[in-house]
Homo-oligomer: A and B are copies of this chain.
Amino acid sequence: MNFNYYMPTKILFGPGKLDELAQETLPGKKALIVISSGNSMRKFGYLQRLQETLREKGIAYAVFDKILPNPVKSHVMEGATLCREEGCDFVIGLGGGSSIDSAKSIAIMAKNPGDYWDYIGGGTGKGQPIPNGLLPVVAITTTAGTGTEADPWTVITNEETKEKIGFGNQDTFPTLSVVDPKLMLSVPPRLTAYQGFDALFHCLEGYIANIATPISDMYALRSIELVSQYLPECIANGDNLEARTNVALANTYAGFVQTESSCTSEHSMEHALSAFYPELPHGAGLILLSDAYFTFFSTKIPHRFAMMAKAMGVDVDSLPEKERPRSFLKALGELKEKCGVSDLKMSDWGIKPGDIPKLAVNARETMGGLFEMDRYRLSLEETIEIMEKAYR
């Protein structure tokens, strides 16, 4: 019952909230708008709507539109250079987690010397303190996946060293975030599933992490409940606004969980997978690992697994106590089936059985901190064992 609470982001949540951005005080006079290299922000008119709002408010802007699904350091550095050259004094991330995470990292590098990896802890990062703070960040999320609009984290891949590392501190929260589920109606089913499961794993891991707090527990269990109830419908009927809204809420809660608690080593293992295989979506990577990972931990902290099963809708009270933790694994499997992601295989993305030891070492070297958040400390051998069991 000892914890610190800090979540300073102002969040506008709900269908139609993007329109309210016009009434908000934005934290600067010229924005760098960061979007993905895909065409969806233009195709669905989200970029144009944002630009129009900025024009109405007399705020200038430049656009940086190169962000990849697994965003890379070179784009952070390039975006930061553009930001300085254009004289932008704040950064808007518009899109999914990759664009918003990149906006955070660009906001750091726009004000600080050297290379982004100078400030990264873990792997080959130099872990130096950030001397000059960062530009304010506004997050407008068009997906329900990473929760980055409600947490301080940004995950960037160093493509040269194959390191995918999360970073954040008390200054890297967005100043203002917009979560408008109407913007999510256009996300295709498969991506909806990957992102929804990403939110789910943020909460599952945050709930079994050893730094979980009463507040993170409350958000985590409610979010698990919402994803379990509404994600299948979002995949089946993407234009169901009520379902989209509930999964968006679950995702924002997942951000709170990541703020007040932490991911665990499942995320470290996934970062290794998608650092080496950048075509692998993060949520898919987590799905690939999850059965083996949670099976391993289900015997370590049975009570928390029973609570997660309950949040997923299992009538755990009617089960013998020793069956309750396993009922979570069954519920997780069923949710994957309902969402059409139960057949994913590592080999679909070209991962080879022989890669596993290297990937396990990478997970521990680049994201070793999250192994310290597990309630049972995994050895390298156990890390390999989990990843091998997850291999198909």
Please pick, from B4, B12, B218, B246, the residue contacting A4 in the complex, using a CB distance under 8 A.
Answer: B12
Question: Does A28 touch B at the CB level, under 8 Å?
Answer: no
Asked if B2 and A17 sit within 8 Å, CB to CB, the answer is: yes
**A249 vs B2: C-alpha distance when bound (angstroms):** 10
Q: Which residue of chain B is the closest to A252 with respect to CB atoms?
A: B5
Q: Could you say which residues of chain B place their CB within 8 Å of the CB of A1?
A: 13-15, 245-246, 249
Interface residue from B6, B170, B222, B245 paired with A218 (Cβ < 8 Å) = B222
The oligomer's copy count stands at: 2
- The prevalent SS among residues of A at the interface is mixed
In this complex, the interface size class of chain A, counting residues with CB under 8 Å from chain B, is 20 to 34
What chain B residues lie within 8 Å of A12 (beta carbons)?
4
Beta-carbon contact of A5 and B11 below 8 Å:
yes
Identify which of B4, B13, B214, B245 contacts A5 (C-beta below 8 A). B13
A262 to chain B, nearest CB (A): 17
B13 adjacent to A2 (CB under 8 Å): yes
A330–B383 CA distance with the chains assembled, in angstroms:
54
Contact of A2 among B3, B16, B218 (CB under 8 A): B16
Contacts of A7 in B (CB 8 A): 7-8
Complex alpha-carbon distance, A218 and B220, angstroms: 12
- 0/1 string, A125-157, CB within 8 A of B gives 1: 000000000000000000000000000000000
Counting chain B CB atoms within 10 Å of each CB, the highest count among A1, A9, A10, A222 belongs to: A1
The contact string, 1 if C-beta is below 8 Å from chain B, for chain A 195-227, is 000000000000000000010001100100000
Q: How far is the CB of A173 from chain B (nearest CB, A)?
A: 9
Across the interface, name the chain B residue whose C-beta is closest to A12.
B4
Would B11 and A6 count as touching, CB distance under 8 A?
Answer: yes
Which residues of B sit under 8 angstroms from A249, Cβ to Cβ? Answer: 1, 214
Give A249 to B5 CA distance when docked, in angstroms: 12
Return chain B residues, CB-CB under 8 Å to A245: 1
Question: What string of 1s and 0s marks CB contacts (under 8 Å) between A56-93 and chain B?
Answer: 00000000000000000000000000000000000000
- The smallest C-beta distance from A9 to any residue of chain B, in angstroms, reads 8
Interface pair A5/B14, CB less than 8 Å apart: no
A4 CB → nearest B CB, Å = 5
Minimum CB–CB distance from A247 to chain B (whole Å) comes to: 12
In whole angstroms, what is the CA distance A87 to B5 when docked? 30
A12 to B4, CA, bound (A): 5
Q: Which residues 243-301 of A sit at the B interface, judged by CB distance below 8 A?
A: 245-246, 249
| A residues 1-58 in Cβ contact with B at 8 Å | 1-17
Residue of A5, A15, A170 with most chain B CB atoms under a 10 A cut-off: A5
In angstroms, Cα B101 to Cα A353, docked, is 62
Interface residues in A322-348 (C-beta closer than 8 Å to B): none
- Would B10 and A6 count as touching, CB distance under 8 A? yes
Which B residues touch A15, using CB under 8 A?
Answer: 1-2
Cβ distance A132 to chain B, nearest Cβ, rounded Å: 17
When the two chains form their complex, are residues A14 and B3 in contact, meaning their CB atoms are under 8 A apart? yes
Contacts of A219 in B (CB 8 A): 218
Closest chain-B Cβ to A141's Cβ sits at a distance in Å of 14
Beyond A5-B10, A8-B10, 7 additional pairs, beta carbon < 8 A? A1-B14, A1-B15, A1-B249, A2-B14, A3-B13, A5-B9, A6-B9
Taking Cβ atoms with an 8 Å cutoff, the residues of A that contact B are 1-17, 170, 214, 218-219, 222, 245-246, 249
Query: Can you show 21 pairs from A to B with CB atoms below 8 A apart?
Result: A1-B14, A1-B15, A1-B245, A1-B246, A2-B14, A2-B16, A3-B14, A4-B10, A4-B12, A4-B13, A5-B9, A5-B11, A5-B13, A6-B9, A6-B11, A7-B7, A7-B8, A8-B10, A10-B170, A218-B219, A218-B222
